[in-house]
Amino acid sequence: MLNPDGVYLGNYRCSLMGFDLNRHWQDPSPWAHPTLHAVKQLIVQMNQDPRVSLEFYIDVHAHSTMLNGFMYGNVFEDEERVQRQAVFPRLLCQNAPDFSFSNTSFNRDVVKAGTGRRFLGGLLDDTSYCYTLEVSFYSYMTAGSAAPVPYTEETYMKLGRNVARTFLDYYKLNNHIKDNRPTYIQSAEVMSPTGDGWGNGGGRDTADREREKSQGVRH
């Protein structure tokens, strides 16, 4: 939580001093942007420590106009790195019925240069993956649904659990924990109209499936 004073005042974007903190990662001030300054120092130290492998950076934001959860990622000259960066959002799309890969985009817009995702994507090496996870303020649509469904605290929590489940898929640990999931997680699984209890297959909308079919993508 990098904007505690702003959120305390009811702001969702600006700090107490009126700064949009996710535009000041390049040169944060210890006086004006103390949380960014501290976290940036920590990440730089971790990146310089040969004993530490910093593999993922994901900042989480609410989005005021778009539906569903989706991600922003970076664009690189190395095509293989670009393809590897798309793996995590694709896996998350399989696990979370409210996550949209068609809304996910990879860019290097100049106006986003001061974001954590952009700055750290340039600072860290090609073994690190930096994303912004955006989630709608208000609603999501699942595959086959006719109308948006309002987000609740519980459905936000379900998306968070599906992000955690995606890490298990990414590191191929799922089989080791499948039968030992805590009871409270087993009883609160995300249900999909077409998928299994974890929402497999429910996160892709028609546009996602058609695009992947034309590109020969297999899951």
Strands 149-150 and 139-140: antiparallel
Residue 182: what are its φ and ψ, rounded to 5°?
A: -55, 150
Residue 131: what are its φ and ψ, rounded to 5°?
A: -140, 160
Strands 56-63 and 105-107: unpaired
- Catalytic residue chosen out of the listed positions 55, 134, 189, 210: 134
Residue whose token pair is 């004073």? 5
For residue 175, the one-letter residue type is N
Helix 87-95 and helix 153-170, axial crossing angle in degrees, nearest 10: 130
Question: Is there a catalytic annotation at residue 134?
Answer: yes
Long-range contacts of 177-186 (CB under 8 A, 24+ apart): 185/161
Integer Cα distance of 5 and 25 in angstroms:
18
What residues are labeled active site?
134
